[in-house]
Amino acid sequence: MRPSLPALISCSALCLGSACVVGGTGPTDGGVGFDVTPRDGRGGADTNPVCPDSPGDVDLLFMIDNSNSMSEEQTSLAMQLPRLVRTLASGDLDLDGLPEFRPVRSLQVGVVTSDMGTGGFVVPTCTAPETGDDGILRTRGDTARSGCMGSYPRFLSFSPGTDPDAFATDVGCLARQGTGGCAFEQQLDAVLKAVTPSDSAIRFANGTRGRGDRDNDGFVRPGALLAVVVVTDEEDCSASDPGLFDPDSSTYTSAMTLRCFSYPGDPPLYPIDRYVDGLLAVKGDPRLLVYGVIAGIPTELVGTSTDYDAILSHPDMEEVVDPGMAMRLRPSCNVPGRGLAFPPRRIVRVGQGLEARGVSTTMRSICQADFTPAIDAILVRIGDWLQSEFCE
């Protein structure tokens, strides 16, 4: 995993002869080792110190669980999106008027949901059992909110000159995907199908191919950072055998609400390596990938770094049937009125595998009213990359 921003931002000279010079630590660095010396020709501060023709393109993919338990969590996420966009546009993480990292040159934001259908089997809550939303970037806006349109492009694009507040409003309209999605969440397959090109050897339900260069063409750009953010209160149930969802199956006979827990092997669930290898294959270079998770991580494990061994060995991350409610698992975190979630072991293990391969990752808890720490962690990872692109 890349070091935090203070460790990275220590270049001796950047943008020489153009917009700015960035030096090492100094009295004006705000304690983060980032010192912007004005180079605007008038002795004034340069409020947008971006080097001409410099890299800094970011493709940000949100995987948003749209099952029936996600209303409050989608609201908490949407509340953070204006600040996320403004920070990426300005590089000012702590809102003190001084950038902590280089602003993005361009930003693309797309949203997919966890609904990938149930292999054609008819089950409650899954209104499109064949394919669900199928990893296709969503276009439906939340018309119940003031200022939201009914339809948007497959992904939203931001560049210098774009109004960050208007852009953030549009992203918020897409982020609220409602809560009518399938309760058999397949978060990992939704992400992978969204970004995988059709010429990949990876296959999805019913032998279908990736959407990366078809419906979602243009979202994943060569040379851009791909930041994937998984927002969910459930464990992944990406199934290699759709028979897992058959209510009348003679192979999978446990209660439907416990199917994904009762049969964790391969099959019926895809192996973790599918997602580690698949996401890395999309970008080729682990430095071009960020994997962020806001899920059922026990709240006391949330910190500035991610200790995967501590997360996976925590008692609340153990998958056991809830003694008080026999048809569900015991929650891994629970904040009354704001968030109840279940152990996301597969989603965490993908992060662990990606980090071992050099990808920058972060894990935060969804069981909190305020997603500020979770979004900050993602911004720092993206900021690490934006700054290191100029320092290497």
- Please check the confidence at residue 371 and state whether its pLDDT lies above 80: yes
Q: What is the residue extent of each domain of the chain?
A: 55-391
Q: Facing residues of 335 across strands?
A: 339
CA–CA dist 96, 21 (Å, integer): 19
Rg (CA), the chain: 21
Q: Which class is domain 55-391?
A: alpha beta
Amino acid identity, residue 114?
S
Identify the CA nearest to 351 among candidates 303, 311, 319, 301. Answer: 311
Chain mean position to CA 161 = 25
Sheet containing 57-64, strands listed edge to edge, beginning at the edge strand earlier in sequence: 156-158, 106-113, 57-64, 225-231, 289-295, 360-365
Q: pLDDT by residue (tens digit) across 258-315?
A: 999 999 999 999 999 999 999 999 999 999 999 999 999 998 887 656 899 999 999 9
Residue appearing with tokens 């280089």: 102
Chain mean position to CA 85 = 14
pTM of the predicted structure, to 2 decimals: 0.86
Q: Long-range CB contacts (< 8 A, 24+ apart) of 255-260?
A: 255/327, 256/123, 257/327, 257/328, 258/321, 258/327, 258/328, 258/329, 259/184, 260/184, 260/235, 260/236
Q: Decide which of 178 and 32 is more confident.
A: 178
Percent helix, strand, coil in the chain (nearest 5)?
30, 15, 55
Q: pLDDT by residue (tens digit) across 130-142?
A: 999 999 999 998 8
| DSSP SS3 for 14 | coil
pLDDT of residue 42: 33
| DSSP SS3 for 157 | strand
